[in-house]
Structure 1
Amino acid sequence: MQATIITIGDEILIGQIVDTNSAWMARELNKIGVHVYEIISISDDRAHILSAFAKAEQQSDIVLVTGGLGPTKDDITKKTICEYFNDTLVLNQEVLDHVVRLFKEYVKAPMVDMNKDQALVPKKAQVIMNEYGTAPGMWLEENETIFVSMPGVPFEMKALMRDSVIPRIEKIGNLPFIHHRTILTAGQGESTIATRLEEWENNLPAHIKLAYLPSLGTVRLRLSSRGVDKDFIVNSVAGQIQELYTIIEDVIVGESNDESLVHAVVQLLKDKNLTVATAESCTGGKIASLITEIPGASQVFIGSTVTYATQSKIDMLNVDPAIIEKYSVVSEQVAIEMAMKARLKFKSDFAIATTGNAGPTQGDSDAPVGTVYIGIATPLNVYGLHFMMGNHRERVVQKTINKALELLQKELIEM
């Protein structure tokens, strides 16, 4: 089965918001064996929508549409769907009752006609009730192509997809089994790893594909396969993973189906029943933010201090002012102090500390732009490491985050 994803909204095209819906939908479709042929974003324009629908119908079995279903006049998706399917809008009493209940229980304001219009749906559509909003989902089938229109609000769309759309697509049948395994590496760049893997990659079976997914400081290697024989696919990918370990085991830092280093770190902490805290300067709390985005992180993450200014390191972490005076705020000694004091402050098993000069100016230290020190405190010892992360501020911060997580992961693996 092949799918097209269409997101509708001028706010996407002018960069006012980032389209996260299509990426999420693509991942969910991939999990059940639906191949996404194309993802497009289009304007709230009748002609543009009609053109996109016509093209999608020619190339896909299912077309998923989000956006343009609000109560305002610029949300024209329902009317355009009616035009495309030669249909008319009719009042759906179940949807109207739902909208009335939402206003009564949560909005506490009188309904206007625009709100009631949310209950108007194309006559040919099968309504998918939206428990979290007023705009329902709509399922239409014509000319052997399925169109599913959903609201653009991410949490509303995700609920509709999980609870109704995905299960219904699965019942259609004839979906292949898709299997991914992702190996995380650190310490070597994409080209170096590719050179080491050249012979192995050339001999991969035709049904297994390898993708290099580089980011600052890490490279993910994703092996993918699809077919009807689940056991064959899983076992053949597992065999290739074993060969991969024999070639580049020195740079492999773990495996994560969620394809991120922070997921792997959090999972290791959970598996080993250990905790971590952070003391961040140049990374500005971003390590803590990444960790706490993961469901269940509260089991392993104790807390964080963002001690960006020099004085805050003294006031909040009790870093010895004499050490800062002697070695500079951007130094191995201060990174060690920050990590050690954070571990004591939060009573965690591990602590990460970052201090550095991300640029573009030198700030409170004479250290060159790109200078970073990372401190790691463990149940057994504490140490600091020096890195030069370049001269681009965003790259310096992101590389520091990845390196800090990599160092923590190595400590956890060795526990």
Structure 2
Amino acid sequence: MVSTIRAEILTIGDEILFGQITDTNTQWIGAQLTDIGIRPVRKTSVGDNRQDILDAFKEASQRANVIIVTGGLGPTRDDITKQTFCEYFDTELQINAAALELVTGFFAKRGRTMTELNIQQAALPLNCTYIPNLWGTAPGMWFEKDNVIYVSLPGVPYEMKNLMEFEILPRLKSRFVTTIIQHKSVRTIGIGESFLAETIAGWEDALPEHIRLAYLPHFGQVKLRLTATGTNQQLIDAQLQQQVDLLMPLIEEYVFGFDQDELEMVIGSLLMNSNATLATAESCTGGYVASRITSVPGSSRYFEGSVVSYSNVIKMNVLGVSAEILERYGAVSEQTAREMAEGVRRTLNTTFAISTTGIAGPDGGTAEKPVGTVWIACATPHETFTQLLTLRNDRKINVELTNSYALNLLRKSILKYNPAVKSGS
């Protein structure tokens, strides 16, 4: 029988709550569960505290059919997950022969001596199903109680991912017949979330009950994520595409890609399909735009280089910005941004060039040009386009937003220069 299986992801460790490490496990696990039709309904993080962990187990069991637990399986005293499972299931630890053999082999292969703490990693709750960990010393564990499955995995991402991929996901797929959960995303830029919502309100109201919409804003972009559920993959794919086809005429000018497309990836495709090249001249972004462009594999085919012109001396001597422009209008001005883009395009002999100059913060602003004032420009073979950005007081956010807007200005400039080009994404 097809049913909706619900999962909760529980991460254990003070280091997560203290912000000493970033929890990337939950994001990855959630995506993997969704791919096999299991719906994550909550994620919870608790510290290395026995009662907190017991409470989290009990609460999660009331919401979910599957509970994925990561962390707390190390050999030191602060790792208490196994002992807490024993208390929760009213059982005790015992050395598992298969686990001990695997741990012993792990150390022998590396020429290392085992300690008593290492040996105790092979001690498992009597009622668990042992899941061999071929990538580390902390074993995986599978429990079942009152029709709820509990899976305990190491917190180390490399070990956790391998155990999930090769052991846990296949077991879950064979255990449950689930509904299909399918996502389709439309990536937009240049329109705020509230304006976007107003623009597509009629379309959103008409969505079928089994298709849900989420707005996911991120540094000047808004991702529209459609999530459909059903039992027929081909039908779901067709229904999602039908909704995208209905949506596109409403917002096509703001759409730069779909699903996993990133703006720098789309830019790369446009440049390659135009047989064009690119250079950047950056001041307030300090090379970040070039870094995003070169994060795309194969970017050497279209990206020639960058000049980080933080000082006016570099703007003048390398990019050819005139002293008169700098004196009259200042480094943060439309005129300077224009000459920076045109100068780096000329110097590096590229088809297109983009420039950034502004006051990223947290200080340096004036009454006329407060923090967050940024000018960007895009030079093409025919003309140069400029844009004034009025951003925020946060330096990091301003750099990210400037990157997004500069790349989008480039995208629109390429399309204007060569309307027939497609991104190929």
Matched with 1:222 is 225
Instruction: List aligned pairs for 1:305-384, cutoff 5 A.
Output: 305-313=307-315, 317-320=318-321, 322=323, 324-325=326-327, 327-340=329-342, 342=344, 350-362=352-364, 367-378=369-380, 380-381=381-382, 383-384=384-385
Q: Which amino acid in 2 is paired with 1:192?
A: F
Secondary structure of 1:160 counterpart: helix
Evaluate the alpha carbon distance shift between residue 329 and residue 164 of structure 1 in structure 2; reply closer, same or farther with a 3 A threshold.
farther
8 A Cα contact 1:182 1:259, kept in partner: no
The CA deviation string for residues 39-65 of structure 1, in whole angstroms up to 9 with x for no partner, is 100010111111211222232121111
Q: Which amino acid in 1 is paired with 2:173?
A: E
Q: Once the 2 structures are TM-superposed, how far is the Cα of residue 360 of structure 1 from its aligned partner?
A: 3.2
Matched, 1:95 2:96: no
Q: Which amino acid in 1 is paired with 2:79?
A: D
2:49 to 45, 49, 63: 45
2:165 to 145, 162, 165: 162
Matched with 2:76 is 72
Matched, 1:389 2:390: yes
8 A Cα contact 1:99 1:116, kept in partner: no
Query: Which whole-Å CA distance do the structure 2 matches of 1:399 and 1:335 have between them?
Result: 17
8 A Cα contact 1:179 1:225, kept in partner: yes
8 A Cα contact 2:377 2:387, kept in partner: no
Q: TM-score, normalised by structure 1?
A: 0.85
When the two chains are superposed, the root-mean-square deviation of aligned CA atoms in Å is: 3.2
Evaluate the alpha carbon distance shift between residue 89 and residue 289 of structure 1 in structure 2; reply closer, same or farther with a 3 A threshold.
farther
The CA deviation string for residues 149-185 of structure 1, in whole angstroms up to 9 with x for no partner, is 1222233323332333223322324122222221122
Query: Which whole-Å CA distance do the structure 2 matches of 1:348 and 1:403 have between them?
Result: 20
Evaluate the alpha carbon distance shift between residue 160 and residue 365 of structure 1 in structure 2; reply closer, same or farther with a 3 A threshold.
farther
8 A Cα contact 2:321 2:343, kept in partner: no
The CA deviation string for residues 181-227 of structure 1, in whole angstroms up to 9 with x for no partner, is 21122222222222222222222211211222223422222222111
The CA deviation string for residues 89-145 of structure 1, in whole angstroms up to 9 with x for no partner, is 3142343134314643xxxx6543333433333344344444443323323333322
Unpaired runs of 5+ in structure 1? Answer: none
Matched with 1:58 is 62
8 A Cα contact 1:389 1:396, kept in partner: no
Query: Which whole-Å CA distance do the structure 2 matches of 1:344 and 1:89 have between them?
Result: 73
Evaluate the alpha carbon distance shift between residue 9 and residue 193 of structure 1 in structure 2; reply closer, same or farther with a 3 A threshold.
same
1:409 to 395, 400, 411: 411
Matched, 1:254 2:261: no
Q: Which amino acid in 2 is paired with 1:88?
A: L
Q: TM-score, normalised by structure 2?
A: 0.83
Secondary structure of 1:4 counterpart: strand
Evaluate the alpha carbon distance shift between residue 319 and residue 206 of structure 1 in structure 2; reply closer, same or farther with a 3 A threshold.
same
Q: Once the 2 structures are TM-superposed, how far is the Cα of residue 269 of structure 1 from its aligned partner?
A: 5.4
Instruction: List aligned pairs for 1:153-192, cutoff 5 A.
Output: 153-192=156-195
Query: Which whole-Å CA distance do the structure 2 matches of 1:113 and 1:162 have between them?
Result: 30
Secondary structure of 1:220 counterpart: strand
Q: Once the 2 structures are TM-superposed, how far is the Cα of residue 388 of structure 1 from its aligned partner?
A: 3.0
Query: Which whole-Å CA distance do the structure 2 matches of 1:71 and 1:406 have between them?
Result: 50
Q: Once the 2 structures are TM-superposed, how far is the Cα of residue 8 of structure 1 from its aligned partner?
A: 0.6
8 A Cα contact 1:128 1:136, kept in partner: yes
8 A Cα contact 2:76 2:117, kept in partner: yes
Q: Which amino acid in 2 is paired with 1:240?
A: Q
Evaluate the alpha carbon distance shift between residue 30 and residue 302 of structure 1 in structure 2; reply closer, same or farther with a 3 A threshold.
farther
Larger CA deviation: 72-81 vs 381-390: 381-390
Secondary structure of 2:249 counterpart: helix
Secondary structure of 1:35 counterpart: strand
Evaluate the alpha carbon distance shift between residue 341 and residue 230 of structure 1 in structure 2; reply closer, same or farther with a 3 A threshold.
same
Query: Which whole-Å CA distance do the structure 1 matches of 2:362 and 2:343 have between them?
Result: 29
Matched, 1:20 2:24: yes
Identity of aligned residues (%): 42
Evaluate the alpha carbon distance shift between residue 111 and residue 93 of structure 1 in structure 2; reply closer, same or farther with a 3 A threshold.
closer
